[in-house]
Amino acid sequence: MSFEWLFPLHYSCVDHAGCNRVAILATGSEGCKDMRIIGGSHGGRKLVAWEESGIRPMRDFVRSALFNILSEVMQDARFLDLYCGTGSVGLEALSRGARHAVFVDRTKVACAIVRRNLDALGLLDVGEVIEGDANWVVRDLGHRARRFDLVFVGPPYYNELVPSTLDALSNGAILAEDAIVVAEIHKKEEAAEEYGALSRVDERRYGDNRLLFYRTASSRTTGSRDSRE
């Protein structure tokens, strides 16, 4: 299956700065009580409330835009949510047809929130939560021959974590044929256009958020998804 339609033939940057009028972002120690799954089989279902501080969920309008872009490649995908926080991105993927999702975060608090969400949504059988450093987990998953079709990298801003994690992914060890890697960074942060076998093929801007889309050289030339065995 070719994914060339997902992105322009030439690198582009689309700015949707006006979209931030609908953003909902939980910050500080107040937690969040109003997050929901946006679309798919669990669309409209509330995520569990939390009071823990230091967790930055993806803004609703950015999450909606991301999954609109990926809608045609989500069905039956193996999804990896790195720096998962509340798990809102991976949970959205499951709701929209992903076969399985692995959630990775280094904090016990975030992992506990994800497990509560999986339980509340009846998705424990298709979700796996791993507590640990994202880059270490990427290497470990590679050693275990795990493969993913879609990888989301959404760490806290201003910690230079996106470049290091894209570098960890750059050998393609955990990436299925035609895999897509999406990284979310702040508009003032930078990430290279290439990391090993990964090359940036698109960028979208939504208010303060930038979504960077990467693919491997082989996926850009072959245009066919593996059999997912």
pLDDT tens by residue, 29-74: 344 557 899 999 999 999 987 765 556 678 888 999 999 999 999 9
Give the pairing of strands 209-216 and 175-186.
Answer: antiparallel
Task: Indicate the pLDDT class of residue 147, thresholds 50, 70 and 90.
Answer: very high
Burial category of 210 from C-beta neighbours within 10 Å (exposed 0-12, middle 13-18, buried 19 and up): buried
Query: For 10-25+57-222, which CATH superfamily applies?
Result: Vaccinia Virus protein VP39 (3.40.50.150)
pTM for the predicted model, two decimal places = 0.85
pLDDT at 14: 57
- Coil, strand, or helix at residue 21? helix
* Alpha carbon distance 211, 88 (integer Å): 16
| Mean pLDDT (whole number) for 4-25 | 42
In this prediction, residue 15 carries a pLDDT of 56
- Residue 84 is predicted with a pLDDT of 95
